[in-house]
């Protein structure tokens, strides 16, 4: 019996079951696919696939459905991820290029992934602990306050109001900003947040006090902002798609939706994939491969989009998933997001 032919039969069963959600029989396979063999041969191949645990009968029906192991073999044997069409790539680019900042990029990414795949989408913010400072700017606000703008390598822009502790006229404010702008960037650009904060505190200790106390106050305020500890963040969207696919989950949707409400669960979903990607940088975890309670009937397709912080994005849905199209969409969107952040 040919292993290649059995794989062809398995591939046909996966494709038909994903398309119809109905168990697939030998007759349907012969009608829909050019297998080039007899009905008896197809039945024998299906029996062998069942013996190997790659397909199973959900009930007394003559049809069969893929098991987790069957989906895994199907995914592992994908020679390459089929690229999206030019129209699809243009649509992704046009939707994301309108973003105004990092928050908008990732918010649009969640909506886009959910729409493209028909699954729930998850996007992890780039880790602020690994981000480096790209630029620091001070902007006049009032006679006793400045606006601090910090641009990070992840594309994130942070703004804070700095209290000068004294009142200055417009000329003094301009002089203060001009006096500090170069030094702030000299001591921070290219450094991660914590080292940049430490460098500013060292510089502040060297500054003159007295009439120039506002200088030290500003530098120390910038250092405090850079030293802030931030929790890793994730965005989740498209959970309504899971409800529409409720019949695909062996258990009720309750445990699944409960799990997805937990912030740390979402981070674990994405962090588990780092280093596991085998298909053009895209990782797939299927069914029981997900050890998190409530996710045993789901598949997760993810990839990293930021190499510095290993931030990832992906989609989650039932194991009855169009894997090739989903993997292609995840990979393509990740590449566009990476380009936007880098630029």
Number of domains in the chain: 3
Would the pLDDT of 277 be above 70?
no
Instruction: Give the domain range for residue 171.
Output: 133-227
Nearest to 172, CA basis, from 206, 144, 149 = 144
Please tell me the distance from the alpha carbon of residue 16 to that of residue 6, in angstroms, as a whole number.
15
Helix (H) or strand (E) holding 222: helix 213-227
Of 37-41, 73-77, 120-124, 315-319, give the lowest mean pLDDT range: 37-41
Question: Residues 317, 178: one domain?
Answer: no
Q: Tell which wins on pLDDT, 29 or 279.
A: 29
Q: Are 159 and 187 found together in one domain?
A: yes
CA 315 to each of CA 111, 112, 117, 127, 189: distance values in angstroms, whole numbers, following the listed order: 11, 11, 8, 20, 35
- Asked if 71 and 120 sit in the same domain, the reply is no
Alpha carbons 339 and 343: distance in angstroms, whole number: 6
Residues 6 or more apart from 64 whose CB is under 8 A from it? 13, 23, 24, 25, 46, 49, 50, 55, 56, 57
The per-residue DSSP string of 291-338 comes to -STT-TTEEEEEEEEETTTTEEEEEEEESS--HHHHHHHHHHHHHHHH
Q: Calculate what percentage of the chain has a pLDDT beyond 90.
A: 40
- Average of per-residue pLDDT across 91-101: 88
Q: Which residue has the higher pLDDT, 120 or 262?
A: 120
Per-residue pLDDT, 275: 44
Q: Which carries the bigger pLDDT value, residue 187 or residue 297?
A: 187
Query: What is the average pLDDT across 78-102?
Result: 85
pTM to 2 decimals?
A: 0.75
Of the residues 178, 202, 227, the one at which a domain ends? 227
How many helices (H) and strands (E) would you count in the chain? 13, 10
Instruction: Identify the pLDDT of residue 274.
Output: 45
pLDDT band, very low/low/confident/very high, at 272 (cuts 50, 70, 90): low
Same-domain status, 246 and 324: yes
**CATH label of the domain that carries residue 289:** 3.30.450.40
- Per-residue model confidence as pLDDT tens digits over 33-54: 888 888 888 889 889 999 999 9
Calculate the average pLDDT of the chain: 85
If asked whether residues 206 and 220 sit together in one domain, one would say yes
Q: Count the neighbouring beta carbons within 10 Å of the beta carbon of residue 32.
A: 14
pLDDT digits (tens, 9 = 90+) for 140-196: 998 889 999 998 887 778 889 999 888 889 898 999 999 999 999 999 999 988 899
Residues 28, 156, single domain; the answer is: no
Asked whether the beta carbons of 132 and 190 are under 8 A apart, the reply is: yes
Are 18 and 149 contained in the same domain?
Answer: no
Whether residues 288 and 166 share a domain: the answer is: no
Q: Select from 206, 227, 248 the last residue of a domain.
A: 227
Task: Give the sign of the dihedral formed by CA 307, CA 309, CA 310, CA 314.
Answer: negative
Residue 81 within a domain: no
Whether residues 139 and 101 fall in one domain? no
Tokens (6 digits) for 178: 């001009």
Counting every residue, how long is the chain? 343
Same domain, 139 and 156: yes
- Shared domain for 111 and 251, answered yes or no, is yes
**Residue 135 β-bridge partners:** 151
| Mean pLDDT, rounded, for 95-116 | 90
CA distances from 324 to 74, 175, 189, 226 (A): 10, 59, 41, 42
């Amino acid at each position: 019996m040919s292993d290649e032919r059995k794989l062809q039969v398995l591939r046909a069963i996966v494709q038909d079951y994903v398309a119809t959600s109905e168990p697939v029989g030998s007759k349907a396979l012969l009608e829909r696919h050019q297998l080039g063999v007899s009905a008896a041969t197809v039945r024998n191949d299906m029996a062998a696939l069942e013996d190997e645990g790659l397909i199973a009968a959900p009930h007394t029906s003559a049809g069969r459905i893929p098991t987790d192991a069957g989906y895994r073999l199907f995914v592992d044997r994908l020679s390459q991820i089929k690229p999206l069409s030019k129209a699809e790539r243009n649509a992704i680019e046009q939707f994301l290029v309108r973003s105004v900042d990092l928050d908008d990029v990732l918010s649009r990414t969640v909506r886009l992934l959910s729409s493209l795949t028909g699954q729930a989408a998850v996007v992890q913010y780039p880790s602020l602990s690994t981000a480096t400072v790209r630029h620091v700017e001070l902007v006049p606000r009032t006679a006793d306050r400045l606006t601090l703008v910090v641009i990070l390598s992840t594309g994130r822009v942070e703004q804070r109001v700095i209290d000068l502790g004294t009142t200055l006229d417009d000329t003094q404010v301009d002089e203060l900003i001009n006096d500090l702008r170069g030094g702030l960037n000299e001591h921070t650009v290219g450094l991660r947040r914590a080292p940049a904060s430490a460098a500013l505190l060292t510089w502040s200790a060297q500054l003159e006090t007295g009439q120039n106390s506002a200088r030290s106050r500003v530098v120390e305020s910038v250092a405090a902002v850079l030293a802030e500890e931030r929790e890793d963040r994730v965005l989740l969207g498209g959970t309504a798609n899971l409800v529409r696919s409720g019949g695909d989950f062996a258990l009720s949707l309750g445990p699944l939706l409960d799990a997805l409400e937990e912030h740390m669960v979402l981070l674990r979903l994405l962090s588990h994939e780092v280093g596991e990607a085998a298909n053009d940088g895209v990782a797939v975890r299927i069914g029981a491969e997900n050890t998190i309670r409530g996710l045993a009937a789901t598949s997760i397709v993810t990839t990293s989009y930021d190499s510095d912080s290993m931030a990832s994005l992906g989609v989650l849905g039932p194991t009855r998933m169009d894997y090739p199209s989903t993997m292609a969409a995840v990979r393509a969107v990740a590449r566009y997001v990476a380009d936007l952040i880098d630029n």
